[in-house]
Amino acid sequence: MSKRYFVVEGNNDESILLRLLPKELLKDTRIIVAGGYSAALSGIQTLFTRTNCPIYFFFDADEISSDESEDKELFARNYLKPLFNNELHFFSFKPEIEILFFYKKELLEKIFSCSISDEKWQEGKMQPKKVLIELTGNGDITTLLYKLTPEIIEQFQKNLTLKEMIEKLSFTEQLTTTA
């Protein structure tokens, strides 16, 4: 039985979370792949009617601007929260979840066994998914995920965004377990 639900926009998002988050945080967690932001909102509404478990919504801001990201979260909050009393948490990625891989240039170079130019690195911070697809050479981000060793994953988990996410998930896991 699931103790909590993660709702993500797409399959790559699910794959990234499954690979980068500690396994103990994924235990008793069900991940729902919605197929986009609007579909995720609809899926969360459906979950609210079927479970009292905490729900975590992971979404791409699709913009670098903090205002755009906050607008998407505010819209989701206003759209969903008044209807139900479930515990709802938001994780927004600016501009996309793939930004998690643009933490340290050396790590990405190690994964792909190549040098990444400063220009490509900066482009990756603006369009991480596009650059990762280019770097894989086959258009499939899961290729990158298979190259992640436990040591590299541990390094990525030091990324402030991922570290804060893990801490929040761990904290709410403790609250759920003790309740």
Higher pLDDT, 34 or 69: 34
What is the share, in percent, of the chain residues with pLDDT greater than 90? Answer: 70
CA distance 130 to 1: 37
Would you state the pLDDT for residue 83?
A: 63
Name the 3-class secondary structure at 126.
Answer: helix
60-83: average pLDDT: 72
93-110: average pLDDT: 94
pTM value?
A: 0.88
Long-range contacts of 144-148 (CB under 8 A, 24+ apart): 144/101, 144/111, 144/112, 145/15, 145/16, 145/19, 147/111, 147/112, 148/19, 148/20, 148/111
Would you state the pLDDT for residue 87?
A: 87
Would you state the pLDDT for residue 77?
A: 78
39-43: average pLDDT: 94
CA distances (Å), 117 to each of 70, 97, 105, 151, in order?
Answer: 31, 22, 9, 24
164-174: average pLDDT: 83
Would you state the pLDDT for residue 68?
A: 59
Is the pLDDT confidence value at 34 over 60?
yes
Domain count along the chain: 1
Is the pLDDT confidence value at 157 over 70?
yes
Is the pLDDT confidence value at 123 over 80?
yes
What is the share, in percent, of the chain residues with pLDDT greater than 70? Answer: 89
Candidates 171, 170, 175, 7; CA nearest to 88 is 7
Structural domain boundaries, residue 121 = 4-178
